[in-house]
Amino acid sequence: MDQDRRRAWVEVDLGALTHNAQVMAERARVRIVPMIKADAYGLGAIPIAHALECLDPWGYGVATVVEGDALRRAGIERPILVMTPLLEWDFPAARQCRLTPVLGDPQAIAVWCRTSDAPWHLSIDTGMHRAGLPWNCVGDVREIAARHPPEGACTHYHSADVGDETVQLQEARFREAVAALPVRPGLLHAECSPWLERHSPSPWNLVRPGVFLYGAGGGEGAVVRPMAVVSVRARIVSLRDVPDGETVSYSATYRAHGTRRIATAALGYADGYRRALSNRGSALVHGRRVPVAGLVTMDMTMLDVTGVDCRVGDMATFIGRDGDEDLDVNEVARTADMSPYELLAGLRQRLPRIFLGGQA
Ligand SMILES: *Cc1c(COP(=O)(O)O)cnc(C)c1O
């Protein structure tokens, strides 16, 4: 048995990833900046970046200096935007790694521009109220932006997946802020995946898709759907017949009605398979959908495989396809009452990542 498929693992289909990135680029009709923060939403930023290189993205987006540094060490030469505000003590390391900070705080901008000529992007808060310069406060950076113009300016939509009037309001505020700058930046960017799923083309110069690349999204109102990228699979490590009236797992939340065949799969919440899926989630075994029985435990999850011919060592699929059945990442997230972003980014390092197709 190959090393990585012994217990439990994540498969990442790089062919589907590049297909999804192509869909985003075609809709945007401008160059893309794939968001590969948080280790590419948990999937592995370095192989993901290498796979996306063939699409000639403008650059990549990360959240921290350490993430950017890892990409530089892996040979990525394109611009790397750090989307989370950097603090002044991060600046030397950011410059050393040739990272482009996305800044919105006038004080931080002044320090960055005083200590280097390296490019920076201006972050404009148009309603998300998380980071960035408030759209109606551009006057606060006019002077510094005249002397050290930002290479780019950007904003972020808080409800692009709803597609309501807040998106238009934010876009109008962004326009207003950009117009108030002394020099119009060459690179303007705002759109994330949910926007691109619903609209086309981008009115700006770059787009920043993330989750769609990884096979999630495509909800209500979307006119494109991503190809599945991620599968999570685990071996069945134990099997037993549980007699009528007996219970399964901690706190006895599952009780057998009649004799039930229970399989134990080597995947638990320490792998990122959430406890919220207890008695609610399902898995695929030999192409058949079977329910999670009882509470998900740290390292193991029990499945009711009654009527399914399976053995110890067989594979159970918790996200992804097996035969004609499919457990879509969006569906699993919904069942767990979480977003697919959170589910993917929560897959733990204990699961080896296996990259299929493409060139990692
Ligand atoms: C994560 C992120 C994105 C990508 O969003 P998706 O919804 O995953 O496409 C774009 N811009 C910023 C600022 C982000 O933090």
Provide the domain limits for residue 309: 230-327
* CB-ligand 1 contact for 35 (6 Å cutoff): yes
Using CA atoms, how far residue 93 sits from 46, 106, 131, in Å, is 19, 20, 21
Q: Which of 332, 326, 317, 313 is nearest to 267 (CA)?
A: 317
For the chain, percent helix, then strand, then coil, each to nearest 5? Answer: 35, 25, 40
**Quick one: 210 and 236 in the same domain?**
no
| Residue to mutate (ligand 1; options 35, 189, 199; most atoms within 8 A of CB) | 35
| C-alpha 124 to ligand 1 mean position (Å) | 14
**Quick one: 63 and 207 in the same domain?**
yes
37 an active-site residue? yes
Per-residue pLDDT of the chain (360 residues; tens, 9 = 90+): 788 999 999 999 999 999 999 999 999 999 999 999 999 999 999 999 999 999 999 999 999 999 999 999 999 999 999 999 999 999 999 999 999 999 999 999 999 999 989 999 999 999 999 999 999 999 999 999 999 999 999 999 999 999 789 999 999 999 999 999 999 999 999 999 999 999 999 999 999 999 999 999 888 899 999 999 999 999 999 999 999 999 999 999 999 999 999 999 999 999 999 999 999 999 999 999 999 999 999 999 999 999 999 999 999 999 999 999 999 999 999 999 999 999 999 999 999 999 999 654
Tell me how long the chain is: 360
Inside any domain, residue 336: no
C-alpha 290/C-alpha 310 separation (Å) is 12
pTM of the shown model: 0.96
Q: Which of 329, 288, 292, 323 is nearest to 308 (CA)?
A: 288
- Helix 45-52, helix 14-28: angle, nearest 10: 60
For atom 6 of ligand 1, the residue with the nearest CA is 210
Letter for the amino acid at 102? Answer: V
- CATH number for the domain spanning 279: value is 2.40.37.10
Inside any domain, residue 356: no
**Quick one: 25 and 130 in the same domain?**
yes
Query: 94: how many CB neighbours lie within 10 A of its CB?
Result: 22
Instruction: Using only the alpha carbons of the chain, give its radius of gyration.
Output: 23
Inside any domain, residue 225: no
* CB-ligand 1 contact for 216 (6 Å cutoff): no
| C-alpha 187 to ligand 1 mean position (Å) | 17
Helical spans, DSSP H, in the chain: 14-28, 37-41, 45-52, 65-73, 91-96, 106-115, 142-147, 165-179, 193-198, 329-335, 340-345
**Quick one: 193 and 283 in the same domain?**
no
* CB-ligand 1 contact for 82 (6 Å cutoff): no
C-alpha 305/C-alpha 154 separation (Å) is 51
Residue 294, token pair as written in the block = 């009882």
Q: For the range 196-199, what are the long-range contacts, defined as Cβ-Cβ under 8 Å and sequence gap of 24 or more?
A: 196/24, 196/27, 196/28, 196/224, 197/221, 197/222, 197/223, 197/224, 197/225, 198/160, 198/163, 198/222, 198/223, 199/27, 199/163
How many structural domains does the chain have? 2
Inside any domain, residue 256: yes
**Quick one: 27 and 119 in the same domain?**
yes
Residue 86, token pair as written in the block = 């950097």
**Quick one: 178 and 272 in the same domain?**
no
Structural element, H or E, at residue 260:
strand 260-265
Q: Which of 127, 129, 142 is nearest to 174 (CA)?
A: 127
DSSP class of residue 282 equals: E
Residue 350, token pair as written in the block = 């204990």
C-alpha 174/C-alpha 137 separation (Å) is 12
Residue 57, token pair as written in the block = 């993205």
250 an active-site residue? yes
Letter for the amino acid at 77? Answer: E
